[in-house]
Amino acid sequence: MELAQIQTDLNNPDFQFRLKAIASLKDYDSEIAIPLLKTKLHDSEFLVRSFVAMALGKQQTADSFAALMQMIKFDDTPNVRAEAANSLSLFGRVAVSHLVTTFFQDDHWLVRRSILGALVDLETTSELLDICIEAIKGEDSTVQESAVDAMGTLANTDVHDASISQLLNLVNHESWRVRQRVAYSLKRFENPQAKEALQLLRKDSDHRVVGAALEELLP
């Protein structure tokens, strides 16, 4: 799309035109694209702002990073903040501390699950464990379950012992879904404590937890 048409469409009352214009900016250098994207940081449609967050993640500059930080801190829609978190993670290690801070400050499940997934992909260890511990303390079950899954990825890392200690504390968790995830994660740890905990989970009161703990033993 020609630049003049993009500029026109960015101000079209029909948000579908604005979405197409934002998508078309991928063909332009950051010097052109970022200033135009920033004009839509406060667009009335959250879907437009989500597209802006996605587009900014593909522009690896200090300016786009700062714009994403603004979105993740101040946007009033969780979907947009979650998309901003995903885009920040594309910057690599430089984004990790900001994502951790956001996790502790923003308790919306969508934002937190996005950050958990991002830190798993970035192969952090201590930072990932920190937010997993915080997630378990929270009240959202989907975030708790995602955190248990994430702790399973920490087997054979420098936080191996701390991770398995956290998982062992969840063997008797009130939620069968959490206990089921614990069973799956414990299988990734090769030590006596993990094996003992799996033996307990094979006697769990919920058949779905038992099934998860026994899964690899079934023919």
Q: Give the count of domains, the chain.
A: 2
Q: What is the pLDDT of residue 217?
A: 55
Residue 84 and residue 117 in one domain? yes
User: Of the candidates 65, 100, 124, which is a domain's last residue?
Assistant: 124
User: What are the angstrom distances between the C-alpha of 194 and each of 12, 53, 61, 129, 135?
Assistant: 58, 41, 44, 18, 21
Whether residues 107 and 16 share a domain: the answer is yes
Q: Is the pLDDT of residue 218 over 70?
A: no
Asked which of 124, 157, 186 is the last residue of a domain, the reply is 124
Which residues make Cβ contacts (< 8 Å) with residue 138, sequence separation at least 6? Answer: 107, 112, 144
What confidence score (pLDDT) does residue 219 get? 40
Tally the residues of the chain: 219
Chain segment 34-89, per-residue pLDDT in tens: 999 999 999 999 999 999 999 999 999 999 999 999 999 999 999 999 999 999 99
170-193 confidence digits (pLDDT tens): 999 999 999 999 999 999 998 899
Query: What's the average model confidence in pLDDT over 153-180?
Result: 96
Q: What percent of the chain has pLDDT over 70?
A: 98
pLDDT of residue 215: 79
Task: Give the pair of three-digit tokens for residue 178.
Answer: 């959490």
Q: Are residues 119 and 130 in the same domain?
A: no
Kindly state whether residues 45 and 71 are assigned to the same domain.
yes
Residues 96, 34: one domain?
yes
Determine the structural domain holding residue 207 and report its residue range: 125-219
- Mean pLDDT, the chain, integer: 95
CATH number at residue 21: 1.25.10.10
Q: Do residues 155 and 64 share a domain?
A: no
Whether residues 106 and 15 share a domain: the answer is: yes
State pTM to two decimals. Answer: 0.92
Q: Are residues 118 and 155 in the same domain?
A: no
Domain boundary among 66, 101, 124: 124
